[in-house]
Amino acid sequence: MTVFEQISDKLFTVRTLVDAGFISPTRPDKLVRIARALQQWGPTPAAGYTTSAIRHPDEAAIIDELGTLSFRDVHERTNALAHALADRGLGEGDGVAIMARNHRGFVEAVVALSKLGADALYLNTMFSGPQIAEVCEREGPKAIVYDAEFAGLCAGALKTRQGYVAWVDPGDRPDHPVLEDLIAGGDRGNVVPPAESGRVTILTSGTTGTPKGAGRKQPDSLEPAAQLFSMIPLKARERTHIAAPMFHSWGFLHFTLGMGLSSTLVLRRRFDPEAMLRTVDQERCSVLAVVPVMLQRALELEPETIAKYDLSCLRVIAASGSALPGGLATQVMDRFGDVLYNLYGSTEVSWATIATPQDMRQAPGTAGRPPRGTIVRLYDEAGRPVPRGATGRIFVGNKMAFEGYTGGGGKEIIDGLLSSGDVGHFDAAGRLFVDGRDDEMIVSGGENVFPREIEDVLARHEDVEEVAVIGVEDEAFGQRLKAFVVRRGDAEVTPDELKAHVKANTASFKVPREVVFLAELPRNATGKVLKRDLDGR
């Protein structure tokens, strides 16, 4: 990179952060304290709440079912928790697993571990007991912070580890110390910063096998945040309802961005579509962070139910975590306004592209364009670049890519770029379209078919609520297409009608040989369809 390019990037970063309110006029005495905190902690959760406590001590930091905590509250409470955990032998470099829903306990555990320099491992709240035990055996955390409702699931992994309870419901009698009690008895004085920042391990979704740990260091600059702000117009001191689970990379990203922007995080432990709309209305949230299936569930509500809530406060609906069908994107914008932004990426590559409302209006189904600082290229099976318009394997490069799986191994790399595991194509305007997983390609009668295309066609049928397509073995064709469809409401559409719809809108060899109707599709906690659970149905 030339000196001119380096200067240009720095100016872009500063200008974008100023526009977002990340950098704003501050009293000189506070500015000195903020600079010292950033120097001590770097761009970490510890720094986020330390600096916000200096800037906005009495303003709301977290709103959850237990009430409101100010930035001063969170800073002092996480100091107390960090001291209490240190007294119990946890410190710099120690691994701690967190299995908690979206609430203050999750946030405070993350910030306290950051202040200690401990490594955080985020467990999926839909894991089974054996999965938790397997992951903990592989990753080796010294302790587990968990909600009391998950005590049974964590029991095996807790046999040889410290346990701490993040959330207790009335009537719960936990076997381990409760965070709230540790905070009440802890020293609220400042924590001595560790020599090295803790690491973060986010687990892959596990839709095709055992979840893997994707390890990455904390970012060493604010450039990645600026790159996102340049395409998703997040602003400082707004209220953000994070409905997406924070143990997942998308929900966690909004948690970390919210820290930098001194956002008020509005959290609810369980997702309910009407409760989500009610929360946005009652708390006057400007930002809603979701996975696409949450939007789908909201639109399934009766029109009069949706109309009860005033969502005019929303400036941004940020979606990611699974495919966002073009039809769903259009429906969301028609109902809630052109405030929808869709980020395409993965746990490994972080982000690849972002689609703005304008992108999705002009080209429904697009994943958008790469933000500044991110490179996306398409390669064929031999590792050669493919021409514009042709389908190829998607490779991504940016500063937030993971460093490899914690259990060993990584993703394929070409020209310094990391495989996303998907295939796609660019249109004439440079917008990316994701055609499917590179391991989902179905060869039927010698023709290559990606399920995503057929799914999108079927999803556009007025009687189809949602759909998943897989390939099954076929003696004559090698593989044949099988579609699993959830009908909308009381619709009585038939398999033949859906096959005719596909035939009228795409090539005949892409018509599913079978159509099976289900009450719902199997999904994981982030809304991704578990296609392995469809095989054999």
- 49 has a pLDDT exceeding 90: yes
pLDDT at 59 over 70: yes
Contact 323, 207 (CB under 8 A): no
First to last CA, the chain: 53
Question: What is the domain extent for residue 513?
Answer: 442-533
Q: How confident is the model at residue 182 (pLDDT cuts 50, 70, 90)?
A: very high
d(CA 98, CA 80): 18
Cα–Cα dist 287/210, whole Å? 33
The reported pLDDT for the residue numbered 415 is 93
The reply to whether 336 falls in a domain is: no
Average of per-residue pLDDT values in the chain: 90
Quote the pLDDT of residue 450.
Answer: 80
Task: Summarize the confidence of residues 188-214 as an average pLDDT.
Answer: 80
Q: What is the pLDDT of residue 206?
A: 56
What are the phi and psi torsion angles at 247 (to 5°)?
Answer: -75, -15
The pLDDT score that the predictor gives to residue 237 is 95
As a whole number, mean pLDDT of residues 409-413 equals 81
Q: What is the pLDDT of residues 468-521, one digit of tens each?
A: 998 888 776 678 889 999 999 889 899 999 999 998 888 888 889 999 999 999
Q: Would you say residue 467 lies in a domain?
A: yes
* Residue at token pair 């932004």: 341
pLDDT at 537 over 70: no
* Residue finishing a domain among 173, 198, 223: 198
Amino acid 215: pLDDT: 67
Q: What pLDDT was estimated at residue 42?
A: 85
d(CA 394, CA 379): 7
Q: Is residue 509 part of a domain?
A: yes
Q: What is the CATH number of the domain that holds 456?
A: 3.30.300.30
**224 — pLDDT class (breaks 50, 70, 90):** confident
Which of the four pLDDT bands, split at 50, 70 and 90, describes residue 119? very high
Which residues are 436's β-sheet partners?
A: 423
Q: Specify the pLDDT at position 216.
A: 59
User: Is there a domain that residue 497 lies in?
Assistant: yes
The sign of the torsion formed by the CA atoms of 89, 91, 96, 99 equals positive
pLDDT at 10: 80
- Give the DSSP H/E element, type plus range, for residue 149: none
Q: Is the pLDDT of residue 202 over 90?
A: no
CB 291 within 8 A of CB 273: no
User: Per-residue DSSP letters for 43-97?
Assistant: SSHHHHHHHHHHH-TTSEEEEETTEEEEHHHHHHHHHHHHHHHHHTT--TT-EEE
Which range of 18-27, 82-91, 338-347 scores highest in mean pLDDT? It is: 82-91
H/E stretch holding 408 reads: none
Rounded Cα gap, residues 100 and 216, in angstroms: 21
What's the pLDDT score for residue 212? 74
Looking at residue 217, its pLDDT comes to 60
Number of domain units in the chain: 2
Q: Are 370 and 395 in contact (CB under 8 A)?
A: no
**What CATH number is given to the structural domain containing 101?**
3.40.50.980
**How far is the C-alpha of 446 from the C-alpha of 443, rounded, in Å?**
6
Residue 176 clears pLDDT 60, i.e. is over it: yes
Please check the confidence at residue 208 and state whether its pLDDT lies above 60.
no
**Vertex 468, ends 463 and 473: CA angle to 5°?**
125
Q: What is the pLDDT of residue 95?
A: 96
Last residue of a domain, one of 198, 225, 257: 198
Give per-residue pLDDT as tens, 452-473: 888 888 988 999 998 999 888 8
> What is the pLDDT averaged over residues 38-66?
93
In a domain, 138, yes or no: yes
- How far CA 368 is from CA of 274, 358, 364, 483, in Å, comes to 29, 10, 10, 27
Q: How confident is the model at residue 536 (pLDDT cuts 50, 70, 90)?
A: low
CB 58 within 8 A of CB 70: yes
- What average pLDDT score do residues 351-375 get? 94
Please list the alpha-helical segments (H only) found in 354-417: 357-362
pLDDT average, residue stretch 344-364: 92
pLDDT of 210 higher than 70: no
Can you tell me the distance from the alpha carbon of 368 to that of 381, in angstroms, rounded to the nearest whole number? 24
234-292 confidence digits (pLDDT tens): 999 999 999 999 998 899 999 999 998 999 999 999 999 999 999 999 999 999 999 99
Q: How far from 251 is each of 34, 243, 466, 513, CA to CA, in Å? A: 26, 8, 23, 38
Residue 23's CB is within 10 A of a number of other CB atoms, namely 15
Cα–Cα distance measured from residue 260 to residue 47, given in angstroms and rounded to the nearest whole number? 9
Q: Are strands 287-290 and 514-517 parallel, antiparallel or unpaired?
A: unpaired
Q: Say if 72 falls within a structural domain.
A: yes
Which residue's structure tokens are 């009335």?
170
> Tell me, what's the pLDDT at 245?
94
Do the domain assignments include residue 364? no
Alpha helices in 232-342 (DSSP H): 249-260, 273-283, 292-299, 303-307, 326-336
SS3 for 421-451 is EEEEEECCCCCEEEEEECCCCEEECCEEECH
User: Does the residue 511 lie in any domain?
Assistant: yes
Is the pLDDT assigned to residue 342 strictly greater than 60?
Answer: yes
Distance CA 277, CA 279 (A): 5
Mean pLDDT of 25-48: 88
Task: Please say which residue of 139, 164, 198 terminates a domain.
Answer: 198
Residues of the chain with pLDDT > 70, as a percent, come to: 95
266: helix, strand or coil: strand
Phi, psi angles (nearest 5°) of residue 517: -95, 135
